[in-house]
Amino acid sequence: MFVKRISTQPFADQKPGTSGLRKHVKVFQQPNYLENFVQSLFNSIEGYQGKILVVGGDGRYYNRQAIQIILRMAAANGFGKVLVGKGGILSTPAVSCIIRKIKAFGGIILSASHNPGGPDKDFGIKYNISNGGPAPEKVTNAIYIQTGKITSYKIIDTEDINLDKPAVLQLGSMKVEVINPVADYADMMESLFDFDLIRKFISGENFQMCIDSMNAVTGPYAIDIFENRLGAPIGTVKNGTPLEDFGGGHPDPNLVYARELVSILYGDKAPNFGAASDGDGDRNMILGRRFFVTPSDSLAILAANANLVPGYSSGLVGVARSMPTSQAVDRVAAKLGIDCYETPTGWKFFGNLLDAGKANLCGEESFGTGSMHVREKDGLWAVLFWLNILAVKMKSVEEIVQEHWYIYGRNYYSRHDYEEVDLEQANILIENLRSLVPIITGKQFGKYQVNYADDFSYTDPVDGIISNKQGIRINFTDGSRIVFRLSGTGTKGATLRIYIESYEPNIKRQNMDPQKALEDLITLSNEIALVRQFTGREKPTVIT
Ligand code: VG1
Ligand code: CO
């Protein structure tokens, strides 16, 4: 095996964000750009010689080329074997599942998740550690330090590997196994949920469902699970072939970008159940007939009903949510008498809690839910969890949500995103809010009085690592709150996220449109943060 050492120079912009390194494809296509990051990753980890690495991606543009480069570099750097999904395909939760199952050293996922794909769109790379979860900050920081010092990378000179046929191949002194991307993951789903019951339920005369894979990675998984294994009619899965540009859309399962599914579920002959997932398969959106379940409610409802599902029948030990996620799940935890952890945004913060057995169900407001079964959020897992609950309760999605609000009260919730705003101005907006934090407590804004405000800081209860500056929280005395933070996944300018929440215990007032119910708080959030002044925008780009 001839290992070449290629000289290179650092790129200054290789700091991983909320979930890996995301940039425009053109940035990744610069000579040595991907290679630098991959070598910096290898330089920052130890003890991988002869070990197994799992590699796959969401099928977006540049996925295949990137995989060939990574395979050659893994061989040159001394990995023993790489498992790669057929066609270069592996969803994020499937990578997590496989790393854990075969006790791999780690995994590399090529994805920019819900960001659009194509030659002029986005690409991304993220690293998962041996527990199957996203690299925690101490690892991503170490990678970043290496990216600033790199002088050369190692690669072998060989032909491309055929990724389109399951096989065991040799690449230099390393083995490459091209695997079926779906089987291990689908088997795991069968072990967690009552497939016989779900099969019977979805074959019922009055039940119809529609799954939208948004031309992204979950297509093959959803077809195997819902159509083959659970017997749903062929065609249940829409947009089920992963495309390099996701058909031109944002593979982001929300009311704006999953328009096609939304129009089916709100149309004349609407099915009873609809769901969509994102680019890399870790997010989910759940819809009933003419009914949208907010991700924060979804998390709370899964927690409240977990005992109905085989994989969780022995009960939950604890739950965790990211800070901006609504406090609906906190109420369920209180009732169950279990702990509820509040972490910064990003799945990497759940890993320690799951590993330590402190929590076994987690979620984020950004359409992500998951559990201890893997170390990632998991889109199709959430869909199956819902179907299992529906099959046990024999109720509609809407009835289940209404029943939940009746018992626990409703947390009205909305997120307003201002995408691609000026980075400098966005930073000033946040700094301005930061300066308000120490002086705003006790202030009255109309009917709202500030109870406390802070810039969220998290101390990991397992390793004690502190993460500061994770978002400005303004909490009011009536329990409502506004949270402000900048996205760590965008690739252009800045994205300002404003999260607004209030609590409504009165069943008579639980059926309002959230935008209406939160109207005053929304106006207030704009006033406090001077949104118009700093962004120049009259309204948000995306409201969820
Ligand atoms: C967003 C979401 C966050 C999620 C992250 C990765 O981050 O808000 O909850 O964990 O995307 O999701 P940010 O920093 O842009 O707010 V995914 O599906 O990209 O892997
Ligand atoms: Co994703």
* CATH code where residue 15 lies: 3.40.120.10
Pair (273, 236) in one structural domain:
yes
Q: What is the pLDDT of residues 359-370, one digit of tens each?
A: 999 999 999 999
Pair (174, 189) in one structural domain:
no
Ligand nearest the Cα atom of residue 483: 1
Alpha helix stretches (DSSP H) within 78-228 = 92-102, 137-147, 183-192, 195-202, 218-222
Q: Are 361 and 316 in contact (CB under 8 A)?
A: yes
Ligand 1: does its nearest atom lie under 6 Å from the Cβ of 345?
A: yes
Pair (90, 153) in one structural domain:
yes
- Which residue, by CA, sits nearest to atom 5 of ligand 1? 346
Residue 15 has what pLDDT?
A: 95
For residue 19, name the pLDDT band (cuts at 50, 70, 90): confident
Pair (195, 171) in one structural domain:
no
Quick one: which atom of ligand 1 is closest to the CA of 346? 10
Q: What is the pLDDT of residues 230-288, one digit of tens each?
A: 999 999 999 999 999 999 989 999 998 999 999 999 999 999 999 999 999 999 999 99
Q: What is the pLDDT of residues 436-490, one digit of tens each?
A: 999 999 999 999 999 999 999 999 999 999 999 999 999 999 999 999 999 988 7
Q: Give the DSSP letter of residue 228.
A: I
- Which residue, by CA, sits nearest to atom 19 of ligand 1? 113
- Which residue, by CA, sits nearest to atom 2 of ligand 1? 366
Output the CA 58–ligand 2 centroid distance in Å. 9
Q: Among residues 111, 113, 298, 414, which one is catalytic?
A: 113
Rounded to two decimals, the pTM is 0.94
Burial of 10 from C-beta contacts in 10 A (0-12 / 13-18 / 19+): middle
Q: Which range marks the domain in which residue 526 is found? A: 410-543
Work out the average pLDDT over 331-350.
Answer: 96
Ligand 1: does its nearest atom lie under 6 Å from the Cβ of 18?
A: yes
> Would you say residue 105 has pLDDT above 90?
yes
Pair (135, 82) in one structural domain:
yes
Question: Residue 493: CA atoms inside 13 Å, Cβ hemisphere, count?
Answer: 11
Pair (197, 270) in one structural domain:
yes
> Would you say residue 103 has pLDDT above 80?
yes
Residue 491 has what pLDDT?
A: 77
Residue 488 has what pLDDT?
A: 82
Q: What is the pLDDT of residues 493-502, one digit of tens each?
A: 899 999 999 9
Residue 76 has what pLDDT?
A: 97
Pair (395, 428) in one structural domain:
no
Indicate the residue among 152, 181, 210 that finishes a domain.
181
Q: What is the pLDDT of residues 167-205, one digit of tens each?
A: 999 999 999 999 999 999 999 999 999 999 999 999 998
| Annotated catalytic residue 96 | no
* Residues in Cβ contact with 242 at an 8 Å cutoff, skipping those fewer than 6 apart: 58, 59, 87, 89, 213, 215, 216, 217, 219, 220
Residue 1 has what pLDDT?
A: 72
Please give the tally of structural domains in the chain. 3
227: left (phi over 0), alpha (psi -120 to 50) or beta: alpha
Mutation pick for ligand 1 pocket among 366, 491, 497, 499 (CB with most ligand atoms within 8 Å)? 366
Tokens of 179: 């695997």
Indicate the residue among 364, 388, 408 that finishes a domain.
408
What is the C-alpha to C-alpha distance for residues 421 and 97, in angstroms, rounded to an integer? 37
Average pLDDT, the chain: 96
Ligand 1: does its nearest atom lie under 6 Å from the Cβ of 60?
A: no
Q: In this structure, how many other beta carbons lie within 10 angstroms of the beta carbon of residue 527?
A: 12
Ligand 1: does its nearest atom lie under 6 Å from the Cβ of 122?
A: no
CA-CA distances (angstroms) from residue 320 to 77, 94, 306? 37, 22, 14
Residue 468 has what pLDDT?
A: 94
For residue 214, name the pLDDT band (cuts at 50, 70, 90): very high
Residue 181 has what pLDDT?
A: 97
Q: What is the pLDDT of residues 396-447, one digit of tens each?
A: 999 999 999 999 999 999 999 999 999 999 999 999 999 999 999 999 999 9
Query: What is the CATH number for 520?
Result: 3.30.310.50
- Could you please report the per-residue DSSP string of 151-165? -EEEEE--PPP-TTS
Indicate the residue among 408, 434, 466 that finishes a domain.
408
Pair (386, 476) in one structural domain:
no
Residue 492 has what pLDDT?
A: 82
- Which residue, by CA, sits nearest to atom 3 of ligand 1? 346
